[in-house]
A = this chain, B = another copy of it.
């Protein structure tokens, strides 16, 4: 907005006659330079900050005023409160001592791209509403599809022209699951001649019990009956990957019972332990039932840009959709989840809207993709820019180097764990996540070992010098050591390992263990 005073000379934001100009050039430069200074300082000092902060629930509301201010304040005041009150309460995902969950990787090119997107602030719901934003997203997805050697059936444009498949950038994997679940649901309802949604009670969905909980939530969001959501047991015999024989058996039993197998989610690199479901074998089973196969490769999919990891996607040409999140391992800041589908129309059939106020010649011509019809909402950030900037600036070679560097550090850590007889590696390492634990020794029961591992995690995290998360695999409490935070170098992995060894010694040497604290 501007003021009713059109004098173009006066530009100061506050307290003058020109009115309020929240994008005046001085402020834009000034505020952004302060932000860049902060970021620069932050990356230099984040290593020395406690990764996990020691704050109590409600601490920030106690520090900042509870009522919104009436009058403006200099941006320096905002930044000061941010530095003083907010930063110390952050969990520092950017810390090189962060080993929890999966890292959220990042890069200078991605941040710059995201910054420009914030400033241009376009809303590319239709092609016309921002042609270049749509085309850049489509191009970035086609580039990444090529790096992953996805079949051309998943590409928006091939050398032969516009393809039948295509992609879209969403905010989270859950959205990718949800929109494909809805497309599969509607197709199954049509196929079975359901009157309205009445047939939904017969539709069944499938995933290994290691699948991220958000899949089961997405099924509920899409209206599937909780009783029809099958969580298929896995075990050590398949390294916690989905057993296609079991899948077949369960799907067949459902079909025999008059149910309609509709959708299977296979995971490449589970969150818990990085297990890999066999994509091709799952696709073969699904084909027998005409069920939709989605591959969730949120984390590990990025590794498949390296030839030595690509085999994990074997069979991808026979699935229906695949998603992966460059914000996890491809140096592109949140949020950025790529979804590709083999047949775009199967998505848009369920997701298309066509209100009068969005009608335009380009959409009506059928020659463009309106990305609103491949996602939950209408509005959308210009997310394609950061992803394109990452690939354009670093190139495939550097991206591969980055993946390999992480894997190499994880391998080093794994070897250290294996060389220390107090520990065990619980599942084979597939990528850059190592799942390990103190193993039962001397007179320890399995329960004692669980307590010792829980105690180890608590103590490590309290030091502020490392942050690890845990999982339970095969009934055992296991520590997850996820390598790959962007600022991480070998020395950080080594330091964490030293800290783990030292803390374990303290625990094993009889410092009191607090079971189940």
Contact = CB atoms under 8 A, between A and B. Distances in A.
A488 B2 contact: yes
A198 B172 CA distance: 29
B393 A73 contact: yes
Contacts of A78: 109, 389, 392-393
Residue of A66, A142, A403 most packed against chain B (CB within 10 A): A66
Contacts of A333: 118-119, 121
A120 B112 CA distance: 13
A415 interface: no
Interface stretch (A28-36, A237-245, A421-429, A504-512): A28-36
B216 A357 contact: no
A175 B376 contact: yes
A221 B131 contact: no
Given A470-B357, A472-B356, A91 B397 contact: no
A36 B39 contact: no
A254 B132 CA distance: 47
28 contacts: A1-B402, A2-B96, A3-B405, A3-B490, A4-B490, A19-B401, A22-B105, A22-B107, A22-B486, A25-B43, A31-B111, A42-B119, A57-B365, A61-B138, A70-B396, A71-B397, A78-B109, A89-B135, A91-B131, A93-B130, A101-B129, A111-B118, A119-B333, A172-B379, A212-B355, A221-B221, A335-B380, A357-B471
Residues of A in contact with B, size category: 35 or more
A357 B119 contact: no
Contacts of A133: 90-91
A87 B110 CA distance: 17
A204 interface: no
Interface stretch (A224-232, A280-288, A310-318): A224-232
Contact of A20 (B57, B337, B405, B470): B405
Contacts of A107: 22-23
The 3 closest A-B pairs by CB, nearest first: A223-B223, A172-B377, A2-B489
A221 B25 CA distance: 43
A350 interface: yes
A100 B68 CA distance: 31
A112 B31 contact: yes
